[in-house]
Amino acid sequence: MHPALSIIVFTTLSGLGYGLATALGTGLLDPAATATKAAHLLALALIAAGLMSSTLHLGNPQRAWRAFSQWRSSWLSREGVMAVLTFLPLAASAFLAIFESRYEPALGLAGAALSLVTVYCTAMIYASLKSVQTWHTPLTPLCYLLFALAGGFSLSTFFAAMGGGNLLLSSGLAAFFVCLAWIAKLVWRNRMNTLRPISTPETATGLGFIGKVRLFERPHINDNYLTNEMGFRVARKHAVKLAALSFGLGGIVPVALLLGLLALGAAHPAVAVGVALLAVLSHITGMLVERWLFFAEARHAVMNYYGG
């Protein structure tokens, strides 16, 4: 599948934003601290930037409002509806923290739960597609949810170090979720690598009863919308290296830094801020590579008709 930059940025940023909103919703950080107020703003900004970015790939974005109508059948529509619903408690929590230095548990937990539901809807857009077998597994939403939590708690660790408090708990939880997310992702990758395609050129053409089916000639010489959109293959050449890179930057480095924070304790606040920031930046870079691979490595059933 073609890894569109807008979708990669959208899923990464909104995942981070919803993850941070979840961490804030648990009341982990001191609502009176300036750092916590900034964290609330950043969560909303990340979510908003992600959603804006997702409209960039639309052919007719002026009609995007129509996407709220088909929540009965469409995960994309559900995601849109949930994003709006989630915004209400998140904005209210942010208002309380920023202007009244207050944390309201019911509101916070509702925002956290809705944030995770929204991430789940995003993941289900991909997981519901039977035509892309790599994505068509409950492991896909599991990875999305765990990565959102991993990124969110890493970010909250940074804000904790900035003065939001609860640095040890936050970095411990962040390290825990980063580990869990990568375990899920490695199981997901293992499934992908050992997958037996359910659709083949033989089933796609119905000619398997004669023998082995091989594309002789495409319908046209050049690429078309389908081969551009579904036939992306550049990544496969470097897939192993890129996967290792995303695992290192998105998993090993942040976990090492977060565990370092645990060992460091609250002794050196300035060092803690730097270490937490490094962990966050490394994780985000790793996640961008991971999301890129998520699309680039996925094979669409239509490629059975295009020899890919």
Partner 1 sequence: MTSLPATAPAKKLGLVIDLDVCVGCHACVISCKEWNTGGYGAALSDQDPYGAEVSGTFLNRVHSFEVIPEGGEIVGEAGEARIVHFPKSCLHCDDAPCVTVCPTGASYKRTEDGIVLVDEDMCIGCGLCAWACPYGAREMDLAAGVMKKCTLCVDRIYNETIQEIDRVPSCVRTCPANARHYGDLADPQSEVSLMVAARGGIDLMPEQGTRPVNKYLPPRPRQVLGAGSEQALLAENTDGATGFFAWLDGVLERI
| Amino acid sitting at position 131 | S
The residue whose two tokens read 């993850």 is 19
Burial class (CB in 10 A: 0-12, 13-18, 19+), 213: middle
- The CB-of-151 to partner 1 minimum distance in angstroms stands at 25
Q: How far apart, in whole angstroms, are the C-alpha atoms of residue 46 and residue 119?
A: 13
- Residues 153 and 170: beta-carbon distance below 8 Å: yes
Nearer to partner 1, 214 or 237 (CB): 214
Residue 132 or 173: the one with the smaller Cβ distance to partner 1 is 132
Residue 293 Cβ, how far from partner 1 at the closest point, in Å? 17
Sign of the alpha-carbon torsion through 155, 144, 245, 188: positive
Chain residues binding partner 1 by CB under 8 A are 1, 57-61, 63-64, 66-70, 72-77, 80, 125, 128-132, 198-199, 201, 203-207, 209-220, 222-226, 229-230, 300-302, 304-306
- Is the CB of 193 or the CB of 228 nearer to partner 1? 228
Q: What are phi and psi of 28, to 5 degrees?
A: -65, -40
**Tokens read off for 237:** 């050449």
| Residue 37 vs 299, nearer CB to partner 1 | 299
Length in residues, the chain: 308
Q: Return the number of the residue (74 or 166) whose C-beta is nearest partner 1.
A: 74
By the 10 Å C-beta count (0-12 exposed, 13-18 middle, 19+ buried), 220 is classed as exposed
d(CA 185, CA 142): 9
Task: Give 101 or 128: the residue with its C-beta nearer to partner 1.
Answer: 128
H or E segment to which residue 283 belongs: helix 269-296
Q: Which is nearer to partner 1, 176 or 306 (CB)?
A: 306
DSSP string, 88-123: HHHHHHHHHHHHH----HHHHHHHHHHHHHHHHHHH
